[in-house]
Amino acid sequence: MSKFKNKNSLALPAISTASLPDIVFMLLFFFMVATVMRQNSLLIHNELPIADQVEKLDQKDLIMYIYAGKPSSRYQKNMGDTPRIQLNDKFATVSDVKAFVLAEREATREALIPFMTTALKVDKEVHMGLIDDIKKELRAVNALKVNYTTRKGSALEN
């Protein structure tokens, strides 16, 4: 009789963790499908204004992002605190916008070029002078579709 007695019968059985990888993989696949890769890391302070007459920006590959705003606090030592433009991962000046648009076009199929949109992600506090300059550059290279990226909400709260 004692020959078959389980020695550990008094201790609680260990919880099986065999299904843990499955659960984590499930989460992983959810995030892989539902999200997109972050394109740029921001070097500037970027608090978007609020508006409600908005349209969704689909087709991420046809969007060119132009960021503008004050450099974030850790860059202010070198860059000062006047609003700057950010293209890709670098600070840029207004004169770089043309080259940026042309480079983005180069990377897109020719048939899709007319559908390319420029998303202006500009901080609330930026003065219109800078944006007027950007718009002038965009017009010069015939990139006429722009989108002022905003958060959703009543515009009166701006």
Helix (H) or strand (E) holding 30: helix 20-34
Q: Under a CB-based contact definition with an 8 Å cutoff, are residues 101 and 141 in contact?
A: yes
C-alpha–C-alpha distance, residues 146 and 118, integer Å: 5
Q: C-beta of 146: minimal distance to another protein in Å?
A: 5
Smallest distance, another protein to C-beta of residue 107, A: 20
Taking the least distance from each CB to another protein, the nearer of 108 and 135 is 135
Instruction: Calculate ∠ Cα 98-53-151, nearest 5°.
Output: 70
Rounded-to-integer distance, Cα 108 and Cα 62, Å: 8
Residues that bind another protein (CB under 8 A): 17-18, 20-21, 24-25, 27-28, 31-32, 34-38, 49-58, 63, 117, 119-120, 122-129, 131-132, 135, 138-140, 142, 144-152, 155-156, 158
Q: How far is the CB of 84 from another protein (least distance, A)?
A: 14
- Considering the complex, state which of residue 1 and residue 15 has its C-beta at the smaller distance from another protein: 15
Tokens of 125: 């506090």
Give the residue with the Cβ less far from another protein, 10 or 14: 14
CB of 34 to another protein, least distance (A): 6
Question: Is 5 or 127 the residue whose CB approaches another protein more closely?
Answer: 127
| 49: CB partners within 8 A, 6+ apart | 122, 124, 148, 150, 151, 155, 158
For another protein, which is the closer residue by CB, 12 or 32? 32
